[in-house]
Amino acid sequence: MHTFRIKTALIIFILILTFSILIPALAQNKQPEEAETAVESETVYINASRLEYQEEKTLLSGGVRIQKGDTIINASQGELFRDQQKIVLKEEIAVEYPDGRVKSEKLTVFLENEEYIFEEAAVLNYLLSDGKEMVLYSDYLKITGANKSFIAEKNVEIDYDNQKFRGDKANYNGESETMELTGNVEIEEGRDWVRSDRATFNLKEGEEGYTAEGNVEIKMILD
């Protein structure tokens, strides 16, 4: 019995010693991998058929492809402002990112802040956490990559769950999945509609609904 206890204690000691050696070694191996991932997320890859290097900017043409992390941008042509870390793209713009895809005729990208400003007939297909798709049309759309949020202005129209939302400005918070629509708001479902000065929408799964405020007017067809 005494010998058994000695053997057991010896085994436990060896296991503790082994883990005390392995854990720091594993941590050291993990740190370079994390550093490499961080560097990759801050790296921008640009491809084009033609490049013209000028004093303050670089002209890109003949088809442009840009990749930063999981975001891929395609356009016909663009200008890279190196000191400002800004890219202005024009014509046939198509963007794919983890939350959806966007098309427009003009795009300004601020690389450091991950801000994407779409202008001229922007169309956003946005995927919510429950898998539903929200399609937004506007002439101005700013997407912030860091917090999955966006602001849309000028002729805003949204298709969502067999409803149409219209307004002057839409402000969407990706973390809470809520959206505020302001200015000449109209919510249309079939032949019925609600009009107001502003409306707040909760698009989170299981909590869907909206609140309309300010000069609320309702049209309801009684079948």
* Residue 164 bridge partners (DSSP): 159, 188
pLDDT of residue 98: 86
C-alpha to C-alpha distance for 146 and 115, rounded to whole angstroms:
9
Query: What pLDDT sits at residue 33?
Result: 56
Residue 17 in any domain: the answer is no
In a domain, 10, yes or no: no
Provide CB contacts within 8 A for 98, sequence distance 6+. Answer: 70, 71
**Can you give the CATH number for the domain in which 181 is found?**
2.60.450.10
Helix or strand holding residue 1 (H, E): none
Selection from 158, 161, 152, 103 nearest residue 132 by Cα: 161
Give the per-residue pLDDT at 135. Answer: 97
Q: Decide if 140 is inside a domain.
A: yes
Range of the domain at 85: 44-219
**Does residue 21 lie in a domain region?**
no
Residue by residue, pLDDT tens for the chain (223 residues) are 544 454 444 343 333 333 344 444 444 555 555 545 445 567 889 999 999 999 889 999 999 999 988 899 999 999 999 889 999 999 999 999 888 999 999 999 998 888 999 999 999 999 888 888 999 999 999 998 766 799 999 999 999 989 999 999 999 998 899 999 999 999 999 999 999 999 999 998 778 889 999 999 999 988 7
Q: Is 28 helix (H, G, I), strand (E, B) or coil?
A: helix
Query: Is the Cβ–Cβ distance between 178 and 207 less than 8 Å?
Result: no
Phi, psi of 151 (to 5 degrees): -125, 130
pLDDT at residue 75, rounded to an integer: 96
Q: Count CB-CB contacts under 10 A for residue 120.
A: 13
Does 201 reside within a domain?
yes
Q: Helix (H) and strand (E) counts for the chain?
A: 1, 14
pLDDT of residue 185: 96
Question: DSSP of 171-192, one letter per residue?
Answer: EEETTTTEEEEEEEEEEEETTE
pLDDT at position 205 is: 79
**Domains in the chain, number:** 1
Q: According to the model, what pLDDT value does residue 118 have? A: 97
Residue 49 counted as domain residue = yes
